[in-house]
Amino acid sequence: MSAFVRRSWVARMLMASLMLTVVAQGSVPADGDAAARPKLAIKAAKILTMDDDDTVINNGVMLIADGKIVAVGKQSKVDIPAGFDVIDHGDDWILPGLVDCHNHIAGSLFDLNDGVYLTNPGLRTVDVVTPRNENLENCLSGGVTSVLLIPGSGNNMSGFGTTTKTFGNSTEEMVIKAPGSLKIAQAGNPERYWYRVGRRFMNWNLRQTLEKAKLYHDGWTAYQKGEIAEPPTFDIVWSDFRDLFDGQFPVSVHTQIYQVYMTTITMLRDHFGLDVVTDHSTFDSYKLASLIKERDMYAIVGPRVFHFDSRDRTINGCAARFAEQGIERLGINTDAPVIPQEDLSYQATMACWYGWNDHYAAIKGITRIPAESLGIIDRVGSLEAGKDADFGLWTGSPIDPRSVCKKTFVDGRIAYDVEVKRRTR
């Protein structure tokens, strides 16, 4: 019996080591390998560049090399240099990789809320980015290439988010910016913390936390300017807030419902002077669109898409209501896994169904606008020379649920191919 056990143990060890070798050789291509990031010239019927001029190129070609876009233009005007493999995608559309500024699935989902205190400043989601997890692999099939991984909304302040690609073999490869945002949650979920804290306390709590952070930042700024001789004591709790107050990244706020939304604007934007990205923006927060407009803020709507107003018995598309009041910096999010990440485009579809009548603006709301709001527009969110080669090849408009994303490229590499890996989308 013991011999059998021992033999089987040896066999298992052998198997395990064999499998490890296979995994190491098979699934992880060497980074920077030229074969993994080929030089490609991709022809397509339509290229939605989503650039400043809203250029749409019919019969276009896009050149990519070393994970970057080299050129985008009409097939008749762009010369394809030697060494570029030509892929003709006929009737398909090329779109920038979709960007979502509210995502939880780039982590393991077991690290959503660290509810130790009601505010947990200093925590970073960059620690929990989980490359190639199943949810990320699914999300590539929906053409989503960049997301903001943020902690959950179980606390008032739950730490720093990370803007990351959805494809890559390591955190280093994937991460665009860390910290990518500060996550704040007002009302709703944090109310469930311990003895049911109310909104007055939560607002005070946020203010006092941010005031402390600002003091720390001001102290260091004064030291760096030479106004004070002694450097303040280093504090790991507040160190990341320095970039926040310098405007390096925004606050992404879980905020919805009129009164809460108002506090977001007046407290975070007006009082603290922070760049604010309002996630959710649902329920009746569209009634504050004029405030958003005055301040040129970004309103990102989701995962709810409509609000039933029982007072006038109407069903209002949240995005539609913002749009009709002249909000142009209007985006869509999913709050994955509340809505599966690959359904980002379908969220925009629904925004359209519920009255956002601008089809193009809706596409912008899932590409350029979220990238702008997160301050990563220099790398992703549109198709322009010099930017990351993140894009999707679609059979038509991504807003139309009948369109398929056939291929997704991240950093010039094929991250998803419908012919190779047929998934749920």
Partner 1 sequence: MKHLLTYFIAGLIFAMLASGIAVQAAPTTDPSSDDEVVTTQPDKPEKKEKKKRRGKRGRKGKKGKGDESTSQPSSQPSSQTSSQPASQPADEAESQPASEPEDKGPEYLAITGGIVHTVSGADLRHVTILCKDGVIEAIGSQVDVPEDADVLDVSGMHIYPGLVACEARGIVGREPAEDTTNVFSTTLRLANTAGITTVSSRTSAAKASYGVVENLPLRNDLFVSIRYGRTAEQRELRESLEKVRQYLRDLEQYEKAKAEGDEDAEKPDESVAKENQAAYKLLKKEAVALVYAEEKTQLIELADLATQFGFDLVIRGASEGWIVADRLGRAGAKVIVSPRRQVGANPYLVQESGNNIENAAILYQHGVDVAVTPSSSGISLVGLGGRDMQHLAMEAAYAVRGGLPEAAAIESVTLAAARALGIDDRVGSIEVGKDADFAITDGPLLDFFTQVQWTIVNGEVVYDKAQESFYAHIRPREGTDEVNETYSFWPRPFKPKPAPAPGEGGRYGEGD
Contact residues for partner 1, defined by CB under 8 A: 134, 138, 207, 266-267, 269-274, 282-283, 287, 290-291, 294-295, 303-308, 311-315, 317-318, 320, 338-340, 346-347, 349-350, 352-355, 357, 359, 399-404, 422-425
Q: Tell me whether residue 176 or residue 260 sits nearer to partner 1 (CB atom).
A: 260
Residues 6+ apart with CB under 8 A from 377: 368, 371
Q: Which of 412, 351, 399 is nearest to 93 (CA)?
A: 399
Neighbours of 17 (CB within 10 A): 10
**Distance between CA atoms of 330 and 347, rounded to whole angstroms?**
13
Q: Cβ of residue 64: shortest distance to partner 1, in angstroms? A: 26
Q: Which is nearer to partner 1, 134 or 230 (CB)?
A: 134
CA 412 to each of CA 92, 159, 167, 169, 390: distance values in angstroms, whole numbers, following the listed order = 18, 31, 11, 14, 7
Minimum distance between the CB of residue 111 and partner 1, rounded to whole angstroms?
A: 21
Buried b (16+ CB within 10 A) or exposed e, 149-184: bbbbbbbbbbbbbbbbbbbbeebebbbbbbbbbbbb
Q: Which residues of 388-419 are buried (b: 16+ CB within 10 A; e: fewer)?
A: bbbbbbbbebbbeeebbbbbbbbbbbbbbebe
DSSP element (H, E) containing 259: helix 258-263
- Residue closer to partner 1 (CB basis): 49 or 333: 333
**Nearer to partner 1 (CB atom), residue 84 or residue 346:** 346
Q: Are strands 56-65 and 40-48 parallel, antiparallel or unpaired?
A: antiparallel
Shortest spacing between CB 171 and partner 1, in angstroms: 23
Nearest to 158 by CA among 220, 199, 104, 216: 104
Q: Taking the complex as a whole, how short is the minimal distance between the CB of residue 377 and partner 1, in angstroms?
A: 19
Residue type at position 97: G
Rounded CA separation 259/252 (Å): 17
Nearest approach in angstroms of CB 97 to partner 1 is 19
Report the residue number, 76 or 311, with the smaller CB distance to partner 1. Answer: 311
* Minimum CB distance to partner 1, residue 388 (Å): 27
Identify which of residues 36 and 109 has a Cβ nearer to partner 1 in the complex. 109
Angle CA 32–36–42, to nearest 5: 120
Q: What are the E-state strand segments in 66-114?
A: 68-74, 85-88, 93-96, 98-103
Q: How far is the CB of 2 from partner 1 (least distance, A)?
A: 29
Nearest distance, CB of residue 348 and partner 1, angstroms: 9
Smallest gap from residue 74 Cβ to partner 1 (A): 29
Shorter beta-carbon distance to partner 1: residue 59 or 266: 266
Sheet of 276-280: strands edge to edge? Answer: 98-103, 144-149, 157-165, 175-185, 251-255, 276-280, 298-301, 330-332
Nearer residue to partner 1 within complex by CB, 198 or 247: 247
Q: Which is nearer to partner 1, 41 or 318 (CB)?
A: 318
